[in-house]
Amino acid sequence: MVTPSRDSVVAELRALRAGLEKNRSADSVNIGGRTYSVSDLIARIDVSLKADADLVMARAALTGALTHQRAIQAGEAVFLAAVWALVKLKYSGLHDKLVDFGLEPKQRQAARTNEQRLVMSAKNRATRTKRGTMSKSRKATIHGDVTGVVITPVKRGREPPK
């Protein structure tokens, strides 16, 4: 089952209200065990229509407020980034001060021992050897020698008329 859109419901309510106004009678109607006059029905429909109008106004106000807030945020983004950078720079070594600003200080990497450095170096060399990577200066020393190859130039152009 498809849920009707808000606009179609409002249009139906307006049409219903207009029909009740046009064909107003003195008869009362029994709905759900209660008796309603035409004026009572119109009043109940007006409550629904007013609620919808209030919703439209609230949405327009929200849209305006969001647009205003986004414009301010966009204008202040560079300034606030500079303030954060200043705070981080000024208090970079003072962990307690950074926590006061809601920043988590970066943990310093533990100093590596000589054994760890040797293992890292050996792993790096093994990786470069396996991948076949080498430094720029080492690549420059590699030159290929080709012998016994004849290069024939090929000219492209118009063929002579026959």
The predicted pLDDT at position 1 comes to 66
Angle of helix 6-22 versus helix 38-90 axis, rounded to 10: 150
Give Cα separations from 17 to 13, 26, 27, 31, 54 (angstroms). 6, 16, 16, 16, 18
Q: Which two tokens stand for residue 140?
A: 């420059």
Residue 136 lies in a domain: no
Residue 84 lies in a domain: no
The predicted pLDDT at position 28 comes to 85
Residue 53 lies in a domain: yes
Residue 25 lies in a domain: yes
The predicted pLDDT at position 75 comes to 87
The predicted pLDDT at position 45 comes to 92
Residue 108 lies in a domain: no
Residue 38 lies in a domain: yes
Structural domain span for residue 70? 6-78
pLDDT in tens, 65-119: 999 999 999 989 999 999 989 998 888 878 888 888 888 877 778 899 999 999 9
Residue 20 lies in a domain: yes
User: Is the separation of the CB atoms in 17 and 45 below 8 Å?
Assistant: yes
Query: Mean pLDDT: which of 18-32, 118-132, 138-152 is highest?
Result: 118-132
Give the pTM.
0.47
Residue 17 lies in a domain: yes
pLDDT in tens, 21-72: 888 877 888 888 899 888 899 999 999 999 999 999 999 999 999 999 999 9
- What total of structural domains would you count in the chain? 1
